[in-house]
Amino acid sequence: MSEPKALLKIRDINAWFGDKHVLKGPSLDAFENEVLALIGPSGCGKSTFIRTINRLHEEVPGARVSGTIEFDGENIYDPGVDVVNVRKKIGMVFQKPNPFPGMSIFDNVSAGLRLQGIRRRSKLAEIVESSLKKAALWDEVKDQLNKPGVGLSGGQQQRLCLARTLAVDPPVILMDEPTSALDPISTAKIEELIMELKADYTVVIVTHNMQQAARISNKTAFFLLGEVIEHDKTSRLFTNPSDKRTEEYITGRFG
């Protein structure tokens, strides 16, 4: 087997909200075909961290970032870089399902492509179908593609949002606690999907749920107070952590 390629090389990321220093220089690599889970107590910076990877952090007024993130060898924070291109390559699924209001299911899934300028109906239809299939939603909605996306159930909405992200076909998919607003059955479905996605994508997932991290990820990074305390194979981190603070967290002694 060939050496796995580090698709994301994140180095020394610092992030601020106004004067509040929320990320204090964590560095991480994310490899092709892996699921990287980020765990840690609330407020540890893991959500901010994931939002620096597709440059969404800077959407918040007063936010600042420093450091480098290399995607496929190119620093996404270089001055000449167009964030639009970054986000085409690095997709994101959010905590709360957020289908676009007033858009049908079809329009929701095809939104990324359509609004990036792709118009051909046949091509869009093809991609919508394949994306919905990958998100395991096709069978449930194939007869109601023209119905509004906001009419679906919570779990279906989240899979719709996943399909919407997959339609753009980004090599990296970021997920910010994608199941925290869902019921257990929907959660199980999303987890199953994530494990399937590994075959084609790099997934970086923030989760509040350690069991979830243990179930679905290859590697896990433990965040505390804006720093990465430990980053290792999931199996090792959960059974034999090298840092005492990690051990305290995963055994439930704080956080």
Q: Which residues bind another protein (CB under 8 A)?
A: 12, 14, 25, 27, 54, 56, 58-59, 61-68, 77, 81-89, 91-92, 94, 96, 98, 100-103, 111-112, 115-116, 150, 161, 164-165, 168, 170
Instruction: Between 54 and 220, name the residue whose CB sits nearer to another protein.
Output: 54
Residue 135 in contact with residue 162, Cβ under 8 Å?
Answer: yes
Instruction: Between 28 and 250, name the residue whose CB sits nearer to another protein.
Output: 28
Residue 38 in contact with residue 46, Cβ under 8 Å?
Answer: yes
CB of 115 to another protein, least distance (A): 4
User: Two tokens at 196?
Assistant: 């399937």
CB of 98 to another protein, least distance (A): 5
3-class state of residue 229 by DSSP = strand
Paired residues of 71 in beta bridges: 8, 74
CB of 210 to another protein, least distance (A): 25
Pairing of strands 219-224, 35-39: parallel
CB of 13 to another protein, least distance (A): 11
User: Residue 75 is which amino acid?
Assistant: N
Instruction: Between 113 and 250, name the residue whose CB sits nearer to another protein.
Output: 113
Instruction: Between 110 and 234, name the residue whose CB sits nearer to another protein.
Output: 110
Pairing of strands 6-17, 63-71: antiparallel
